[in-house]
Chains A and B, each alone.
Chain A
Amino acid sequence: MLTDIIRADLETEVWECLEMVTDPELDEPITDMGFVERLEVIDARRVEVEFRLPTYWCSPNFAFLMAFGIRREVGALPWVREVQVWLNDHCFGDQVNEGVNSGRAFGEVFAEYCDGADLGEVVEKFMAKAFDRRQEVVLRGLRRRGLGAEEIVAMTVGALDRVVFGSEDEIRQMARYRDLLETQGLADTPDAPAFPTWDGQPIAPADLPAHLDRLRGTRISMEFNGAMCRGLASTRYKEVEIGADGPTLVDFMLGRVPPREDAAMRK
Chain B
Amino acid sequence: MYKTPDGKEIFVLDGHTHFWDGSPENQANIHGKQFIDCFYAYHTNLSPKEHLWEKSRFEKYSEDDIYRDLFVDGPDDMAIVQTTVLGDFYKEGFGCIERTAEMAKRHPERFIVNGAFDPRDGEKALEYIHYMKEEHNITGVKMYTAEWNGASKGWALNDPQAYKCFELCEKLGIRNIHVHKGPTIIPLSKDAFDVHDVDYAATDFPNLNWIVEHCGQPRLDDFCWIAVQESNVYGGLAVVLPFIHARPRYFAEMIAELLFWVGEDKILFGSDYAIWTPGWLVEKFWNFQIPDDIAEERGVQLTDEIKEKILGLNAAKLYGIDVGAKKSELAGAPVQIAAE
Contact = CB atoms under 8 A, between A and B. Distances in A.
Interface residues of B, number: 43
B257 A217 contact: yes
Contact of A224 (B186, B188, B220, B222): B220
A239 B247 CA distance: 22
Interface string B208-242: 00000000011111101000000000000000000
A97 interface: no
A232 B192 contact: no
Contacts, number: 120
Nearest to B246: A231
Interface string A163-179: 00000000000000000
B338 interface: no
Nearest to A231: B45
A226 B219 CA distance: 12
Given A227-B247, A228-B45, A232-B42, A221 B220 contact: yes
B220 A114 contact: no
A223 interface: yes
A224 B254 contact: yes
Interface residues of A, number: 49
A56 interface: yes
B195 to A, nearest CB: 11
Given A232-B45, A246-B50, A220 B185 contact: no
Contacts of B191: 122, 125
A221 B218 contact: yes
Interface of A: 25, 54-61, 64, 89, 91-92, 110, 113-115, 117-119, 121-122, 125, 214, 216-218, 220-225, 227-228, 231-232, 234-242, 246-247, 249
Interface of B: 31, 34-35, 37-38, 40-42, 44-46, 49-50, 52-55, 146, 182-183, 185-193, 217-222, 224, 243, 246-247, 250, 253-254, 257
19 contacts: A55-B34, A57-B146, A58-B183, A59-B193, A60-B188, A64-B188, A114-B186, A114-B188, A115-B187, A221-B222, A224-B220, A224-B254, A225-B218, A235-B45, A236-B37, A239-B40, A239-B44, A246-B50, A247-B50
